[in-house]
Amino acid sequence: MSCIKVLSLSGSAYEIGKQHGKWAKEEVAYSLDSYEKLFWYERNLSWEQAVELAKQHINTIEEVNTELLEEMAGVADGASVRFEDILTLNARSEIALTGNKFDGCTSVSVMPPLSDKAYLAQTWDWRPSQTRSLIALKINHKDTKINMITEGGIIGKIGCNHHGLGVCLNALRTDIKSHTLPVHLGLREVLNSTDIEEAKHKVKDGKIASSVNMLMAQHQFNAPQALNIELSPIHSDERETKSNYLYHTNHFCSHIMRQKIKENNVRVAKNSVIRKERMKELIMTSIQSKKTIDKQVIRKWLSDHDNEPFSICRHKDHHTSEYVDTITAFVVIMNLTDKTMKLLEGQPCNPIKEYHFTFEREEK
């Protein structure tokens, strides 16, 4: 089985994109193929219909940061595809993840003194068909360095920057969306930020086009901090850690958000509730043991199989198509105190490969 490519990208926004497209041409092609099928299976949309939906976001992207457009144009040229195709990949959440369809990611952050370092981690659970498109990017642009795991062609996702700021992603289901900034470009804007305060202002108050939870954390100036922010096109609500831990799955937990969006527009999957309660159990058990939480404890949490098939660590259902099934494709564990990131490819209980990232070099 092939392993995730690790690409070091630098230069202008366009040059970074072109390197991405050229060196991950195969992964971009996999993404295009996978999402064309997914849009059809889950939304009954042709690729060209999806492209037209994605184009509705261009004006906002241009207003927010023209370099996002430049980087996507570079990816397209490097991969020898249309700009509109890359734009559509970056708007995939707005196209495919509204309505009744569900996926399952579990994110968690733990801060000192409960833990030895400031941690931010998650499982990324998605379609088996899309695992072959995964890439890791080490981006050096202007005054920002980013280590990020993403899908070929998508320029924003899960990771951290050299300021010790990290972000995790949990899709939230509603039937509400807008023509503002797509989720994945919002994630990139978070990673382009110097601190949590700047990052949250880039995404809150209806700035993001579909519903998503972003769990952010940072260890800066000897002050570890975590923030959970539930976002939708019409409202946002945030919660800081008061107990030195935060966690989230794939449904709205904020009463304010549920009231604003209206209950009949909110989709809650049974598996999301089960995973959230299980993560709470695991955290409470660790706290009661009075032992300091470290990255091995967090890895064990994310490898948990309790309540299968709705477990935190999810495995393939051999009776389901790879275009509709959901598995744990990778796990990221960020140590924001030391500004390092551990990537576990595949399920964390038995990963295909492990990668370790710093802002000096990457080790395998």
125-184: pLDDT as tens digits: 988 877 899 999 999 999 899 999 999 999 999 999 999 999 999 999 888 899 999 999
3-state secondary structure (DSSP) of residue 174 = strand
Nearest CA among 172, 152, 199 for reference residue 28: 152
Look up tokens 């060196």; give the residue. Answer: 23
- Which strands form 134-141's sheet, in the order they lie side by side? 5-10, 134-141, 144-151, 158-161, 165-171, 212-220, 223-231, 236-240
Q: In the predicted model, is pLDDT for residue 115 greater than 70? A: yes
Residues across the chain: 364
**Residue 192 to residue 162: CA distance in whole angstroms:** 10
**Pairing state of beta strands 223-231 and 212-220?**
antiparallel
2-11, 259-268, 353-362: which has the minimum mean pLDDT?
259-268
Question: What one-character-per-residue DSSP string does 188-222 give?
Answer: HHHHT-SSHHHHHHHHTTTTBSS-EEEEEEEEETT
Averaged pLDDT of the chain: 92
Q: Considering the entire predicted model, what is its pTM? A: 0.94
Domains of the chain: 102-363 (3.60.60.10)
pLDDT in tens, 259-290: 888 755 677 788 899 999 999 999 999 999 99
Q: In the predicted model, is pLDDT for residue 361 greater than 60? A: no
Task: Write the burial class of residue 163 (CB in 10 Å: 0-12 exposed, 13-18 middle, 19+ buried).
Answer: buried
Residue 350 in tokens: 């038995």
CA 43, chain centre distance (Å): 21
Q: What is the pLDDT of residue 129?
A: 77
pLDDT in tens, 58-81: 999 999 999 999 999 999 999 999
